[in-house]
A and B are shown apart, each in its own frame.
Chain A
């Protein structure tokens, strides 16, 4: 291993740093290119009667409505409930109703202004608790929960809430579609995470076979899950306009449209009832998870699935009942965001563990040490943890680094600025849930050319997370080559196989694993003296007529079993483990929370590119820090209030504390060089660690994130009515 573990240059790096990288909006305009826009619903729920055309010469533009869709009016994903364009019932604010393409922006705006959807309003539902529309329901049952509750002497109950969160990728959603070629091929290029998802959506919309729907990824300015499913919507829209107008059509959302119309993290409510022994041992856990899915199903069942599986936390308990539901409301559909259901439930269980510790008068570290999952234990789904379990090591390392086990948690503190420290301990399943990978069968192809260079073909996308460098390092070491002999082919459905979506912390572990194997196959074929440079050997091999192409299809590690009906078995091939310690200072004048210091210790299996891994951990941690107390994202009458960068607040560099990243490497036998997923894990633990630290500082039990100064002030005044200048009007 010479490149794995050492720094490899990021192929796309210099262009990004020097500002030469070409994003969707930077691609030079074609001569007769048009611009596309979307007519959206101003109301959250109603019957669409008609679209009135006002004073405008519509011959100058092309308008597309539901009737103009050549294939099904279905946004193909999981459930067929979401139309590409609303035909009948509007279910959320900003729902697309019609599309317009025009030669220029001014004409487009004028045309959109002249279109008026007539909608008879219907009663909307915004409260998930009140919704009757269950999009998906999942149960996990282990042991005998009821019997344990019956004989229980100590039951701890808690209810926890998390609000939504915006991904805020720097580059907004954007697509360019070409009109169909003579043979009917549709091509779109754009900012996206999952080219083959977009292809699937286009196939359905146009009723064409896969080879007639070509999807090319452009340089992508961030995704965080926000470009998992929504690019399919933009792609279908742009392609419909290109199809109808005969022009190349570009659709790039401005920030306002992007904030208002695209999916965000699911808001959650999680209830815990826990039976504990006097020493803190968990005897039974009864957990109820509710997610607001928004107006259409989109990815919600999968988000719920991950949420439910992680709801009991990284703890051992023989009796567990988890009931999870995601319900429909008239909110803009919620969707994928780093962590994918896990941050919500992690917040709840970690707060519950603190609550249990407080009720028993024991230290937060002790309650976790007593109950943490270890090698040989079984999870909530009864998955046996057979290898790569860094649980004890991450906790040991973070305690050694921070001394948190000696900190007197929730001691009465004084002064106007109060410091506190909090801990979270968590795990995150890497890769798709259950048999997901088995069904998907992701593929990677590696091809050697005449010069002995390797072309790596996979649908996995570079979205700023460092995939290209990671693939380069793996391929180089597996082949025994230098990085300059490796080219990562840019994702284009016409040129790369479907390696699966770039989501679920799977690209390194799953796709990187396939890449490793494909490269080793080629290295074996090429053979020769390892002291001779690989390129020389490979070039001779190819010129000599050797079989220069190797394709590897993912196969699950042997012995994995998953029962999708009972939600029992091996939910994930492996888990990443982590612990966070946050130190905060709360200002009792303003209830501003300053994160003084943050330490995170993460078991990543093996760090293929340590610097990139640390970057992922810092970035994910910062998103979690933002969600914990700064990032407010709320809807009013179904419309997001934070609709501009002036109001959609995320941390700046001044809000970012020093973050110490400690890496633990417990190798995973089935991951490339021992690596396992790390992309999402850092998003899970920051919020509960900070909530715990706030509680330590000011004694207020934080059960709702973001813990904004407004919420903290109210909680403080409730606990200290004498300190209030004014009586809270409730």
Chain B
């Protein structure tokens, strides 16, 4: 196995651009090392990006915050600039030791359907910045995730950062993770929503969910069923049912059942939208 540890972004991008073997980026390693250990991945070339200063840290920008891809869950949770539901999600990842290593870039990189941060990025309308020697590009988080454990990243690219637009004052946000226990648990389902109500009418609504489909999903049916409507209990219940029926495609697996996931997804959604 070839191993590189670049000390700057430029160096890293050169390594990636010139790589002959398929390079695997190593951030906190909390996914990659497990995959290597279980034999799921046997990377011929590992590039440890932990030492790249440009990828660490959270910065205020004109109309949002930029979160470096190597920002850990602990850092996300501790930083007041992190939007509340992202902090909530970061707090519920793994346990202390994992949170000290698990990064936001890694969460996107793995593109696991059970990722906890990614659905929040969907709900917040976040943008992912990808860097390569040839140039940068920005994709919405939604576009970045392309399927079951797959994303839009090209071999020569790395995730530079995540940009989250400033939140309107009247936005309501809610997050809920349903796990197998109270810590160190992978989601049976996870839901995030951000919405706005003017008068009684919903004027904006965006959602994200995990572990209810082969990939992290946004919730277009929820948005369609509730946008421009009066936010009554009946409407919320209807929208939640429709979203559970049409946005979700849950399965039975070792953690839960499809029946539970669909039903509880709807119940959680009602709860989040009624807060």
Give A contacts to B, CB under 8 Å.
Answer: 256, 416, 588-592, 594, 630, 641-642, 644, 646-647, 649, 651-655, 709-710, 713-714, 717, 724-726, 728-729
Contacts and interface: CB of A to CB of B under 8 A. Distances in A.
B254 interface: yes
B254 A729 contact: no
A646 B264 contact: no
Interface string B83-101: 0000000000001000000
B184 A652 contact: yes
B264 A655 contact: no
B182 A654 contact: yes
A729 B240 contact: no
A710 B185 contact: no
Contacts of B181: 630, 649, 651-652, 654-655
A651 B271 CA distance: 26
Contact of A590 (B183, B241, B257, B264): B264
Interface in B129-155: none
B99 to A, nearest CB: 14
B186 A646 contact: yes
A594 B182 CA distance: 9
Interface string B224-242: 0000000000000100110
Interface in B183-199: 183-186, 188
A259 to B, nearest CB: 12
B180 A591 contact: no
Given A591-B264, A726-B244, A728-B259, A649 B185 contact: yes
A710 B257 contact: yes
A164 to B, nearest CB: 14
A592 B184 contact: no
B210 to A, nearest CB: 15
B259 A647 contact: no
Identify which of B181, B186, B244, B245 gathers the most chain A CB atoms within 10 Å of its CB: B181
Contacts of B38: 256, 644
Contacts of B95: 652
Interface of B: 34, 38, 95, 178, 180-186, 188, 237, 240-241, 244-245, 254-257, 259-260, 262-264, 266-268, 270-271
Nearest to B242: A725
Contacts of A729: 259
Contact of B267 (A589, A630, A646, A654): A589
B185 A726 contact: no
Contacts of A709: 178, 188, 256, 260, 264
Nearest to B252: A710
Contacts of A653: 183
A646 B34 CA distance: 10
A724 B263 contact: yes
Contacts of A649: 180-181, 185
Nearest to B255: A647
A712 B237 CA distance: 21
Contacts of B241: 725-726
17 contacts: A256-B38, A588-B267, A589-B268, A589-B270, A647-B254, A649-B181, A652-B184, A653-B183, A654-B181, A709-B256, A710-B256, A713-B260, A713-B264, A717-B263, A725-B241, A725-B266, A726-B241
Contacts of A641: 254
B260 A710 contact: yes
A652 B182 contact: yes
A725 B240 contact: yes
A651 B34 CA distance: 22
Given A646-B186, A725-B241, A713 B263 contact: yes
A362 B118 CA distance: 52
Contacts of A713: 259-260, 263-264
Q: Which 7 A-B pairs have the closest CB atoms?
A: A654-B182, A725-B266, A654-B183, A710-B260, A652-B183, A589-B267, A649-B180
A726 B245 contact: yes
Contacts of A416: 271
Contacts of A652: 95, 181-184
Contacts of B186: 646
B182 A655 contact: yes
A591 B263 CA distance: 11
A711 to B, nearest CB: 9
B259 A714 contact: yes
B83 to A, nearest CB: 23
Contacts of A588: 267
A709 B185 CA distance: 15
Contacts of A710: 256-257, 259-260
Contact of B271 (A256, A589, A647): A589
Nearest to A651: B181
A713 B237 CA distance: 18
B191 to A, nearest CB: 11
Nearest to B265: A725
Contacts of B34: 646
Contacts of A646: 34, 186
Contacts of A728: 259
Nearest to A712: B260
A651 B184 CA distance: 10
A594 B245 CA distance: 29
B59 to A, nearest CB: 33
A591 to B, nearest CB: 7
Nearest to B34: A646
Contacts of B184: 652
Given A728-B259, A729-B259, A642 B254 contact: yes
Nearest to B264: A590
Given A589-B271, A647-B254, A726-B241, 19 more contacts: A590-B178, A590-B264, A630-B180, A647-B255, A652-B95, A654-B181, A654-B183, A655-B181, A655-B183, A709-B188, A709-B260, A709-B264, A713-B260, A714-B259, A725-B237, A725-B262, A725-B263, A726-B259, A726-B262
A184 B201 CA distance: 87
A594 B95 CA distance: 19
A589 B264 contact: yes
Contacts of B256: 709-710
Nearest to A652: B183
Identify which of B184, B245, B263, B270 gathers the most chain A CB atoms within 10 Å of its CB: B263
Nearest to A728: B259
Given A651-B181, A652-B182, A655-B181, A590 B267 contact: yes
Nearest to B270: A589
A654 B95 CA distance: 10
A651 B182 CA distance: 8
A591 B261 CA distance: 12
Nearest to B180: A649
Given A641-B254, A647-B254, A590 B268 contact: yes
A232 to B, nearest CB: 29
Identify which of A590, A592, A630, A729 gathers the most chain B CB atoms within 10 Å of its CB: A590
A684 B255 CA distance: 26
A263 B183 CA distance: 27
A267 to B, nearest CB: 17
A710 B186 CA distance: 16
Contacts of B264: 589-591, 709, 713
Contact of A725 (B178, B244, B254): B244
Contacts of B244: 725-726
Identify which of A416, A710, A717 gathers the most chain B CB atoms within 10 Å of its CB: A710
Nearest to A647: B254
B228 to A, nearest CB: 23
A241 B99 CA distance: 43
A594 B179 CA distance: 13
Contacts of B254: 641-642, 647
